[in-house]
Amino acid sequence: MADDEAPTHMNPYEMALVQLRHVARRMKLDPNVHEVLKTPMRSLEVYLPVRMDNGTIRVFTGFRVQHSMARGPAKGGVRFHQNVTEDEVKALAMWMTWKCAIVGIPYGGAKGGVIVDPRELTHTELERLARRYFSEIGPIIGPQVDIPAPDVNTNAQTMAWFMDTYSMNVGHAVPSSVTGKPIDIGGSEGREKATSRGITYCIREAAKVTGLDLDGATVAIQGFGNVGGNCAPLLYEMGCTIVAVSDVNGAIHDPDGFDVHKLTKHVRSTGTVMGFPGAKEIQNADLLELDVDVLVPAALEGVIHKDNAPNLRCKILAEGANGPTTPQADKILRDKGVYLIPDVLCNAGGVTVSYFEWVQGLNSFFWTEDEVNERLDRIMTKAFHQVHDIWEREKDKDEDGLTTRQAAYMLAVKRVADAIKKRGIFP
C-alpha cells in the first residue's frame, strides 16, 4: 500500500514500518540492516489461566516482544488493556528501540501486553494475572536480558508482583529484574514523574528554539493518567496555563486556565476530571483542535491523523503518548509549521530513569531525587538538541522536507545500525 493510500487509522505496526521506511530511504540505509530492523528478534504469545475470586477459571492472552538487543538488554513496559494486539506490542517494541538509542542509553527495545480490562478484575485477580504472566514470559526475562517496566494500566504495585515472582522463581531477591518498582523494594526516586518531567524538559527546549514564552503559554493535555496527570502540575509550576484536560470519561475546558492543584485533588477524590467546578465539558476530539500554544497528547496511539491534523492550532505538539500521530499527519503538521516533539524523544524520560533505577539496583547504591532529576535533565536536553540540529541541517535539502520525527529516527536508526554492523550477524 502506498503511503498516500494508507487508511486514516493505521495499524500501529504498519505505522512503525512506514516511519522506518521513510527514514531508511532518506538515509540510504543498507538494505540488509533495514531488513533486520523491520522484524522483531523475538515475539512470545502466552495463554494465562487465572482463577477468579468466584472459583472459575479465565484464560487471558499476553505478549512479550523484543525488537532489538544490538545495543544492550531489551527494555520496555507492560500494558494491561482490552485492546492490546500483537501488532501494537511489536510497534511499541520497535519505538522503544529508537527511544533508547536517541537518549543514548545501552538498551534495545521491548514491550509487553495482556488483553484484559483491569477494571473488571479485583485486586487479587489482578495480582494472580500479573504473576502468571510474568512466570510465563520468565524464560526470556532477566536483568541482563529484558527488563520490564510499567505502562498503560500497570504501576509500581504491578512491578512489585513481577519482581517478587521472578525472585521466587530464582530463589533470591533480584531488584534489577524490573523497573518502576516501589521505593521500598529498590525503586528509584523520581521514577513516578520521570516521563512527565522529561516531557516538560523537551517543551522548555522547544519553546527556546521556537521563541515561545512559556510564562502564560496555554496548554491542552489529552489524557490525565500517570503521564498527563503529572505533566499538568509540572507545566503549571513553569508558568503555563492549563486550559483543557481529558480522560476516558470526557474532556473539560476553561479558557482562563485551571487551578491545577485543585484539579488534581478533584481527580484523586472522584477518579475523573469530569465535574470539576467551573469547567465546560467538551468532546475529547475537540480538545485536540483547541487554539493553544502547546498540545500534549498523553493517551493512546493514532489520535492525530490525516482527517483532524489540518484542524490542529497548537504551536508545539509534545507527544506524551506512544504513536499518537500518523505519518500522514506528520507531513500535514510540518507544512502547517507545528513544531512536533516526537514520542521517541519526548516521552523518553521514563525509560531514562528506568535505566537509572536498573543501574542503582545492580550496584545497590541509590541516588537522591535531585540527582536523578539533574541527570535526566542533562540527558533529555542533550538528546533534544541533537535531534533539533539534525532537523535544522537536513530539513530543506530536498523537496520532501524533513519532519522532526524523521530527524529523531535518523539519529536512532544510525546508532542501532552502527551497533548491528559492528557486532555482525551470528553465526
**CA separation, residue 86 to residues 13, 73, 80, 128, 321 (Å):** 9, 21, 13, 22, 18
pTM: 0.93
Beta strands in 52-197 (DSSP E): 57-66, 74-81, 108-115, 146-150
Chosen domain end from 346, 376, 408: 346
Same domain for 204 and 297, yes or no, is: yes
CA angle 304, 100, 337 (to 5 degrees): 35
Q: Write down which residue in 151, 185, 219 finishes a domain.
A: 185
Same domain (yes/no): 198, 74? no
Look up the CATH number of the domain holding residue 339: 3.40.50.720
CA of residue 412 relative to chain centroid, distance: 16
pLDDT mean by block of 10 residues, the chain; 427 residues = 48 91 94 97 98 98 98 98 96 96 98 97 98 98 97 95 97 97 96 96 98 98 95 97 96 97 96 96 96 95 93 98 91 96 97 98 96 98 98 86 94 98 95
- The pLDDT, as a whole number, for residue 5 is 39
45 and 99 inside one domain: yes
205 is a domain residue: yes
Q: Which three cell numbers mark 104?
A: 543514548
Instruction: Look at residue 21 and tell me if it is in a domain.
Output: no
Whether residues 178 and 239 fall in one domain: no
> 136 and 47, same structural domain?
yes
Report, as residue numbers or ranges, the catalytic residues. 111
Would 66 be classed as within a structural domain? yes
CA distance readout (Å), 10 to 56, 88, 97, 249: 37, 11, 20, 24
Q: Are 177 and 237 members of one domain?
A: no
Question: CATH number of the domain that 120 lies in?
Answer: 3.40.50.10860
Domain ranges, residue 125: 40-185
- Say how many domains are in the chain: 2
The pLDDT value recorded for residue 302 is 87
361 found inside a domain: no
Distance, in Å, from the CA atom of 305 to the CA atom of 326, rounded to the nearest integer, reads: 5
Q: Are residues 210 and 317 in the same domain?
A: yes
Rounded to 10 deg, the angle between the 369-394 and 404-423 helix axes is 100
Mark whether 147 and 263 lie in a shared domain.
Answer: no
β-strands 250-253, 241-247 pairing:
antiparallel
- Give the residue carrying C-alpha cell 519526548: 346
Q: Is residue 249 part of a domain?
A: yes
Tell me what pLDDT residue 400 has: 78
340 and 200, same structural domain?
A: yes
CA–CA distance, 410 with 23 (Å, rounded to integer)? 6
User: Would 356 be classed as within a structural domain?
Assistant: no
In a domain, 333, yes or no: yes
Same domain, 313 and 200: yes
164 and 201 both lie in a single domain: no
Cell reading at 338: 507545528
- Among residues 88, 105, 162, the alpha carbon closest in space to that of 321 is found at 88
Phi, psi of 377 (to 5 degrees): -60, -45
CA–CA dist 213, 424 (Å, integer): 48
Amino acid 301: pLDDT: 80
Q: Are residues 52 and 89 in the same domain?
A: yes
Strands 74-81 and 108-115: parallel
Separation between Cα atoms, residue 235 and residue 239, nearest integer Å: 7
In a domain? residue 87: yes
